[in-house]
Amino acid sequence: MGVFGIGIDLVEVARITAAIDKYGDAWAHKIFTDRERGYCEKQHDSAIHYAARFAAKEAAAKALGTGIGKHAALQDLEVHHDENGTPQLLLHGAAKDFAKERGIAHILISLTHTKDHAAANAVAISVS
């Protein structure tokens, strides 16, 4: 196993709050999966959690070397928590295909946030 790529991203929570206020549910539906929206909406301050997930998607796209687009759409990159509450990145669609073609076994992520900022790191691990 080896490192295929790494990524990092930082998001201002105020930017996410403004998007939610301006576009409402349509914005969240465009970017986040049903499971992600369900998780965020259960939290006291959903914008902080949306911001962390947005940062994770951007960081993962950087780790893949694709950016957000043809090979990694925003909904192809899903943040999920395992039974211990540890964030995991699930790949779907084009991102899953892209990773498989390049021998990427999984992407490790780490999330953090404050009242004003959310950040994420991602490391794409290859099988070779």
Catalytic residues: 62, 113
- Phi, psi values for residue 73, rounded to 5°: -75, 160
* HSE of 54, CA atoms in CB hemisphere, 13 A: 25
Residue 40 near residue 53 (C-beta atoms within 8 A): yes
Task: Give CA–CA dist 100/30, Å, rounded.
Answer: 25
Query: If residue 119 lies in a helix (H) or strand (E), which one and from where to where?
Result: strand 117-126
Residue length, the chain? 128
Task: Give CA–CA dist 112/97, Å, rounded.
Answer: 28
